Amino acid sequence: AGGGPLLPDSVLYEIFLYLDHVDVLSVGLVCQQWHAVARDEFLWKELFYRYYRISREVPRHPAAVSWYDEFQRLYDTIPCVEVQALKEHNDQVLHLSFSHSGCLFASCSKDCTVKIWSNELDISLQHSSNMRPYNWSYTQFSQFNSDDSLLLVSGVFVGPHNSSSGEIAVISMENFTLLSRVRNKPYDVFGCWLNETNLISGNLHRIGRITSCSVLWLNNAFQGIESENVNVVKRLFKIQNLNASTIRTVMVADCSRYDSPDLLLDYEEQLAASSTSTCPVFDLGSDSEEEEAKPKQTPEPAVQELPDEGGVTAEDGLQQFFDDIMEGRVRPAMTETELETKVAELFVRSRTKPPELNLLSTDSNSKTKYLIFTTGCLTYSPHQIGIKRILPHQMTTAGPVLGEERRSDEFFDSLDHVIDIHGHIIGMGLSPDHRYLYVNSRAWPRDCVISDPMQPPPIAEEIDLHVFDLKTMKEVKRALRAHRAYTPNEECFFIFLDVSRDFVASGAEDRHGYIWDRHYNICLAKLQHDNVVNSVAFSPVEQELLLTASDDTTIKVWRSPRVVRIQQARKPRPRKLLFSWLMNQKS
């Protein structure tokens, strides 16, 4: 195209209206003066808002230099081009995880293997560990430690259909040897690293038919080779569970990383949306009236300071309750389930250590970390997110195995924060800077009432992807939507998501993976599989590389159009056969 002066705004607008109906990649054919208008901000701003259907109240990404560059980022850097399909697993692939360096990744599968892959231009299998000799049924989750020297692998034991036992194995990345194994119950606690050498597991103790106690343990990864004089385990927390709920899906957020937020999320529209959020947050350690405000129909969290009734102690209250039962003063008649829950609530009032105060005032330069997990208070399906601060002295197995000495009124630990989702939580993921928590959930009906904890409400097919700011403990975005799930409550399973600097991705039961932009809240790509997509994983060093794992037994590798063009340009072109034959004849 030849050069020329910039076109007037009216002509640019006519070009824009035309471009709105043609393939953007053929945009250079519109007029001979294209290269003169190609960087015109008016054109690209109009095209950007119209093409991606974004509200004009949403500002441009704070790191963007121009509207042209921003359009190019969303159009050309999304990992949506399939470049490789890995078929070494022979059953459903459940989870994917990258090493922090991005050089390796691990995959877990119903075939009961964990496979370690080398992330090169053409990805190749480096090692495969079969866990069946250890009585595992399948592998379900993996995570590299901070220096990529160890791999945590979580699995499920062979057992009856209702068995909830699992195990965590630690594998050395130096020679792929198994270093230690730790019992994990229930198995969907998954487990996670707290630091380079210590990992967190769970155990579950039944107290009644629907009441239990979850114990979270800190374990040294080198249990088999440590000295007999050094503890290799230590109890972290002991938390009471009501109404058949349990603690599951543990993860650790590092507060010291908040100093370098990777995105500005809380612009005006999002703040307005958060003020009408359907996901209330309870700060159990705060005395401020602002944070104690709650919608009327929101259920109370499982562990919470109950108000004193005229100075009556918990022990007196429990005795009074029993007296009322014996004398027939409890009306209407309580079911066995309601009775067990009421007794457990009264008992825990005088047996629980109070929550940590000033959770939100954590110094960003401190070594404080948050333990984050799913829990509940109304039914067995996970519908709340619990947050517990881990203090520096708790980050080592040194000291008493059962932790610091406790008084009789500190038998249980309380939660420092509870986020109520009002739906079945099926996935969680942290942003790279650990400031934002992304949560996949399937909503309950708006005004549902749970009368039986063993019969949770029906759940929506549409998956909501919520975003919470862990610095303020507030929801900061409207829920992202596009992906769907179909299994009912009792069969519902985890769908893993992942977050990069600019994007968030998730699997779904509709045979697709999905990618959204974190700033604009828009769905950018659907990634096709032949069955349920269970897990997604961005490369931590290259967000234009994404992996997806599916029930169709494959792992697909996706790269951005930009990277694909670069790689194709670097490949040497094959010489034509005739030319090669002639050259050989001359020699």
My answer on whether 61 and 88 are in the same domain is no
Q: Which of 76, 100, 130 is the last residue of a domain?
A: 76
pLDDT one-digit tens code per residue, 83-133: 999 999 999 999 999 999 999 999 999 999 999 999 998 999 999 999 999
> Is residue 42 a contact partner of residue 6, using CB atoms and an 8 Å limit?
no
pLDDT one-digit tens code per residue, 471-486: 888 998 778 888 888 8
- Residue 317: pLDDT over 70: no
- Percentage of the chain surpassing pLDDT 70? 71
Indicate the pLDDT class of residue 300, thresholds 50, 70 and 90: very low
Instruction: Please name the amino acid found at residue 194.
Output: L
My answer on whether 420 and 510 are in the same domain is yes
- Residue 500: pLDDT over 50: yes
Compute, in degrees rounded to 10, the torsion defined by CA atoms 444, 445, 447, 448.
-60
Give the predicted TM-score (pTM) of the model: 0.82
Question: What's the average model confidence in pLDDT over 529-542?
Answer: 97
Question: What's the average model confidence in pLDDT over 224-247?
Answer: 81
Supply 374's token pair: 């799913």
- The C-alpha angle 82, 87, 91, rounded to 5 degrees, equals 125
Q: How far apart are CA 464 and CA 426, in angstroms?
A: 10
What lies within 8 Å, CB to CB, of 131 at 6+ separation is 112, 113, 114, 139, 153, 155, 169
> Is residue 415 a contact partner of residue 239, using CB atoms and an 8 Å limit?
yes
Q: Is residue 575 part of a domain?
A: no
pLDDT one-digit tens code per residue, 353-404: 777 666 655 554 467 899 999 999 999 999 999 999 998 888 888 777 776 6
Q: How far apart are CA 1 and CA 34, in angstroms?
A: 7
* Structure confidence at residue 310 (pLDDT): 43
pLDDT one-digit tens code per residue, 145-177: 999 999 999 999 987 666 779 999 999 999 999
My answer on whether 141 and 60 are in the same domain is no
Question: CATH code at 187?
Answer: 2.130.10.10
Q: How far apart are CA 72 and CA 48, in angstroms?
A: 10
* Structure confidence at residue 585 (pLDDT): 59
* Structure confidence at residue 485 (pLDDT): 84
My answer on whether 495 and 395 are in the same domain is yes
Question: What's the average model confidence in pLDDT over 55-77?
Answer: 90
My answer on whether 24 and 136 are in the same domain is no
Q: How far apart are CA 399 and CA 403, in angstroms?
A: 7
My answer on whether 455 and 417 are in the same domain is yes
**H/E element, 34:** helix 34-37
pLDDT one-digit tens code per residue, 431-466: 999 999 999 999 999 989 998 999 999 999 999 999
* Structure confidence at residue 491 (pLDDT): 74
What is the domain count for the chain?
Answer: 2
My answer on whether 429 and 523 are in the same domain is yes
My answer on whether 420 and 379 are in the same domain is yes
- Percentage of the chain surpassing pLDDT 90? 51
My answer on whether 67 and 94 are in the same domain is no
- Residue 266: pLDDT over 50: no
Domain that holds residue 500: 81-260+366-569
More confident residue, 553 or 10: 553
My answer on whether 428 and 496 are in the same domain is yes
Question: What's the average model confidence in pLDDT over 500-507?
Answer: 96
* Structure confidence at residue 376 (pLDDT): 95
My answer on whether 450 and 532 are in the same domain is yes
Q: Is residue 341 part of a domain?
A: no
- Residue 586: pLDDT over 90: no
My answer on whether 72 and 93 are in the same domain is no
- Residue 267: pLDDT over 60: no
* Structure confidence at residue 46 (pLDDT): 87
Burial of 544 (0-12, 13-18, 19+ CB in 10 A): buried
* Structure confidence at residue 575 (pLDDT): 55
Mean pLDDT score of the chain: 80
More confident residue, 140 or 302: 140
- Residue 262: pLDDT over 50: no
Q: Which residues pair with 469 in a beta bridge?
A: 436, 474
Q: Is residue 347 part of a domain?
A: no
